[in-house]
């Protein structure tokens, strides 16, 4: 697996700065080949589960079936991983959990809800920050077309 290099970033340029010259305004983390491949596998697994089961079931059912699909593809994962909170030099174990941690590279939060609440989007971003992981998915299985329920989040 290729390692991350400091220069593995995509640079975006704004047309003008205050002096009228182009400048860098955003640098995005460039995923490794392994992360890109895992993202494709995760989406494929979500599609497979949704195709077989459809919407309307409990989140736990989708979780166990999603993990079974990962297992069939030989991908390691952990379910319901506790996430300690570090604050002011202290560590608290207050019950934060990630639904599925895929290959110790990607966080997957699975939902079976009618509408995605912005709090869950904030949750995945917080989990990425707390774990120093770069990629996470929010997958809502309670949709007619699963492509409408898959959101990928990346953090540098």
Whether residue 7 is contained in a domain is answered as no
Which three-class secondary structure state does DSSP give residue 151? strand
Tell me the backbone φ, ψ of residue 73, rounded to 5 degrees. -90, 5
Tell me the Cα Rg of the chain: 18
Give residue-wise pLDDT tens across range 105-134. Answer: 999 999 999 988 889 899 999 999 999 999
Contact 13, 22 (CB under 8 A): yes
Q: Is residue 17 part of a domain?
A: no
Q: What pLDDT shows up at residue 26?
A: 53
The confidence score (pLDDT) of residue 21 equals: 53
Identify the three-state secondary structure at position 38.
Answer: helix
Instruction: Give the SS3 label for residue 45.
Output: helix
In angstroms, the CA 143 to CA 152 distance is 16
User: How many structural domains compose the chain?
Assistant: 1
Asked if residue 52 belongs to a domain, the reply is yes
Q: Could you tell me the CATH number of the domain that includes residue 73?
A: 3.40.960
Q: Could you list the pLDDT tens digit for every one of the 156 residues in the chain?
A: 344 444 444 444 444 455 555 554 455 678 899 999 999 999 999 999 999 999 999 999 999 999 999 999 999 999 999 999 888 999 888 878 999 999 999 999 999 999 888 898 999 999 999 999 999 999 999 999 999 999 999 987
Q: How far is CA 17 from CA 10, 20, 26, 28, 65, in A?
A: 19, 5, 13, 19, 50
**Hey, how many other C-beta atoms are within 10 angstroms of the C-beta on 91?**
8
Residue 2 lies in a domain: no
User: pTM of this prediction?
Assistant: 0.80
Residue 110 belongs to domain spanning: 31-154
DSSP 146: G
């Amino acid at each position: 697996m290729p390692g991350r290099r400091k220069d593995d970033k995509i640079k975006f340029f704004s047309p003008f700065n205050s002096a009228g010259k182009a400048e860098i305004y955003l640098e995005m983390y460039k995923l490794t080949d392994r992360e890109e491949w895992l993202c494709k596998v995760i989406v494929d697994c979500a599609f497979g589960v949704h195709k077989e089961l459809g919407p309307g079931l409990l989140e736990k059912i989708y979780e166990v079936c999603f993990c079974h699909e990962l297992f069939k593809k030989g991908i390691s994962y952990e379910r319901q991983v506790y996430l300690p909170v570090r604050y002011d030099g202290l560590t608290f174990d207050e019950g934060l959990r990630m639904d599925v941690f895929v290959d110790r590279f990607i966080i997957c939060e699975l939902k079976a809800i009618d509408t995605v609440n912005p709090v869950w989007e904030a949750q995945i971003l917080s989990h990425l920050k707390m774990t120093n992981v770069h990629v996470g998915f929010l997958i809502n299985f309670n949709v007619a077309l699963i492509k409408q329920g898959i959101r990928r989040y990346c953090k540098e």
